[in-house]
A and B are shown apart, each in its own frame.
Chain A
Amino acid sequence: MNPVNDLITPLLRLGDSALIQGQRLCEWCGRAPVLEEELALMNVGLDLVGQARNWLDYAAELLADGRDADHLAFRRDERAYRNLLLVEQPNGDFAVTLLKQFFYDAWHLETLKGLSQSADERMAGIAAKALKEVTYHLRRSSEWVERLGDGTEESHQRMLQAIPRLWRFTGELVEQHATEIELHRAGLRADPAQVAEAWRASVESLFARATLPVPEAPSHFYLDARRGLHTEHLGPLLAEMQFLPRAYPDAVW
């Protein structure tokens, strides 16, 4: 194992996922169902983009090839992005947005808990800070999934429709990847088995409260964000997010 190179992919996975999830939340600006949610959606997005910056700063330092966090965020193509497929999915309605947030938060919290114990001090520090924010994110998204699942007939139906739209992207949250198991053994990341177990437990207990059925484990999906194999949603998202730095490569903002 090469500890520096091996850390880059997990760092990009964390940073890119937080950034793309934050970007999706920005799309809600001015369009939330109630004023309090304008605040909450932007607040969660702000936390995540802040975390993305911390992870990408660190990744850029380890890469040491002259790129900085902005360069990583705004100049990489979709084939170089390492975010979870889940977070690049379109917002859909409020049910899809909040269910996606919950699936991500539940994974994120466990992942950060593991990382906050990482043998890599810098990683542990960033994770510990993010953990406080994500604890709040998970509480909030869980509450909404429960409200919508166990609300009105319409909200229940919308949640039932949101589940199959997102469920197939949850496989990557629980799969046991060989390199990640290696990293865990080296004390550099959370135990994937533990993340998977905790994730399933939190989905099962919340879905029970929200009167929602837990589907069978999703089947293999033939895409792999670890290798930059994304859905078709990421390209247009990046085209919008990156256009200014791409159009004016020598600009200082």
Chain B
Amino acid sequence: MYAQLVDTGVKRITPLAEMSEQERTFQEKIDSEIKIEAKNWMPDAYRQTLIRQISQHAHSEIVGMLPEGNWVTRAPTLKRKLQLMAKIQDEAGHGLYLYSAMETLGADRDEEIAKLHSGRAKYSSIFNYPTLNWADMGAVGWLVDGAAIVNQVVLQRTSYGPYARAMVRICKEESFHQRQGYEILLTMMREGNQAQRDMVQDAIDRLWWPALMMFGPSDEHSPNSAQSMAWKIKRQSNDELRQRFIDQTIPQLELLGCTCPDPELKWNAERGHYDFGQIQWQEFYEVLKGNGPCNQERLETRRKAIDDGAWVRAAAVAHAQKKANKNAA
């Protein structure tokens, strides 16, 4: 998920009977699937949880431009270069939608970005992994955007209207990116040479487990999920979504002719699902804490962009002010 671990700040879920009149009206609205809109009353914890989740999601879109930006100058054909540029542009656009959705909750974009840069706000753990060969551009599209879509399709029904609507628009573009990513891999596997097929398998080996981690901690270690589910911010559990992703992705992996870097992966006819091996949760928490392979570089790049650009933003403001003064005179 683009927002993997969102603190709700709530220790236990309040039963309806203990709620104030206002809280009860709100919860009843949620229960009858009526969308919450910007001007509606909402509990402060609901507002804060959404600000954390949507900003984390927006930050992920922006930081997520960097692993792909690493290859945009090295894309091997004009067609692939154009596709990658279009995709990166879409991601910047998704960041914009999401910051706007977040601002309907009264949060300020610059303040939330400052939190990201000081390490107080998170972004998806997946973008802390390096992109080391061209096949990573295919694997990121297929696996990473694929995992994001499984999460985001559900979020189209999230209880907060502006967030749900942003997801509808974003999902359309993400599905396109995912197909494009898969097509990159398919071309390399079917029409490429042995070196290219090795690149594809290498990319899958490196990105498979990090992609599974995008769904967040397992349900038993997901203390904030219950409240997020009660508010219908989340609609399905981390483990349910992860299972759905694996079930739909393995046949695609087989069609590529690649293998999964999980020796325990096996179809379970009884469950009607794939069984899979243990996720390295230690690694997941370390990456989220800032100790992953690229955490420092990603944040440094983003901080530098904003710091180096301060004079540009100041100039734009000063010029707009001059123009306004001239018009007023």
Contact = CB atoms under 8 A, between A and B. Distances in A.
Interface stretch (B3-11, B187-195, B254-262, B280-288): B187-195
Nearest to B309: A33
Interface size class of B (residues with CB under 8 A): 35 or more
A31 B311 contact: no
B315 A147 contact: yes
Interface in A114-157: 146-148, 150-152, 154-155
Contacts of B306: 33
B318 interface: yes
A27 B305 CA distance: 12
B313 A49 contact: no
B314 A154 contact: yes
A69 B301 CA distance: 34
Contacts of A187: none
B192 A33 contact: no
B104 interface: no
A9 interface: no
Chain A interface mostly helix, strand, loop or mixed? helix
Interface in A222-252: 240-241, 243-245, 248, 250-252
A87 B95 CA distance: 29
B315 A26 contact: no
B260 to A, nearest CB: 24
Interface in B39-94: 62, 65-66, 68-69, 72-82, 85-86, 88-89, 92-93
16 contacts: A26-B69, A29-B66, A31-B301, A33-B306, A33-B309, A46-B86, A73-B78, A74-B76, A147-B316, A151-B316, A155-B312, A245-B76, A245-B77, A250-B193, A253-B187, A253-B192
3 closest Cβ pairs, A-B complex: A33-B309, A151-B315, A29-B69
Interface of A: 22-23, 26-27, 29-39, 42-43, 45-46, 49-50, 52-53, 56, 69-70, 73-74, 93-94, 146-148, 150-152, 154-155, 158, 240-241, 243-245, 248, 250-253
Given A29-B88, A251-B196, 14 more contacts: A29-B66, A30-B65, A38-B62, A38-B88, A42-B85, A45-B85, A46-B89, A70-B78, A93-B308, A152-B314, A155-B311, A245-B77, A252-B187, A252-B188
Interface of B: 62, 65-66, 68-69, 72-82, 85-86, 88-89, 92-93, 95-96, 99, 134, 184, 187-188, 191-193, 195-196, 301-302, 304-306, 308-316, 318-319, 322
